[in-house]
């Protein structure tokens, strides 16, 4: 299962919880795991609080403070998005979430976000559900 997300800003966390939950429902898998994966090298998947949207902005700002858009990266001579590759490498392209009774075992405060560090872009999200 796949779906698309259009990000709007240069760096952004886009909430995809509902769409992943929908994919899990459609799979009809009662128990197992769900792998949420982005096949892109400037994006990643974050599982964290999505009740207060300011957490998403704090995460983007903190990542930007650690790995600024400009810092003399080698790759910027070719394609000026080295910072986004580094951020995406730290966040990781996917997360694996347990499924029980047909539902993701997300905590009360956990949501799933696509983190894009070189947007705006249209991105593919792959959801793979494994029985077990």
Q: Which residues bind a copy of itself (CB under 8 A)?
A: 32-33, 35, 37-41, 46-49, 52, 54-55, 57-59, 61-62, 66-67, 71, 73-75, 77-79, 82, 85-86, 88-98, 105-110, 124, 126, 128-132
What residues pair up with 99 in beta bridges, in sequence order?
Answer: 32, 104
Helix (H/G/I), strand (E/B), else coil: 27: helix
Supply the DSSP string of 33-89, one letter for each residue: EEEEE---TTEEEEEE--SSTHHHHHHHHHHHHHS-S-S--GGGGTSS-HHHHHHHH
| Nearest distance in Å: CB 74, a copy of itself | 4
| Nearest distance in Å: CB 81, a copy of itself | 9
| Nearest distance in Å: CB 85, a copy of itself | 5
């Amino acid at each position: 299962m796949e779906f698309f997300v259009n990000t709007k800003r240069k760096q952004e966390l886009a909430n995809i919880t509902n769409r992943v939950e929908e994919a899990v429902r459609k799979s009809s898998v009662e128990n197992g795991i769900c792998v949420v994966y982005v096949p892109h090298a400037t994006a990643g998947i974050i599982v964290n609080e999505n009740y207060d949207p300011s957490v998403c902005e704090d995460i983007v700002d903190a990542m930007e403070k650690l790995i600024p858009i400009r810092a003399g990266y080698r790759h910027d001579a070719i394609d000026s998005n080295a910072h986004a590759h580094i951020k995406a490498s730290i966040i990781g392209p996917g997360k694996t979430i347990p499924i029980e009774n047909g539902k993701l075992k997300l905590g009360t405060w956990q949501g799933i976000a696509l983190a894009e560090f070189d947007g705006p872009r249209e991105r593919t999200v792959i959801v793979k559900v494994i029985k077990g």
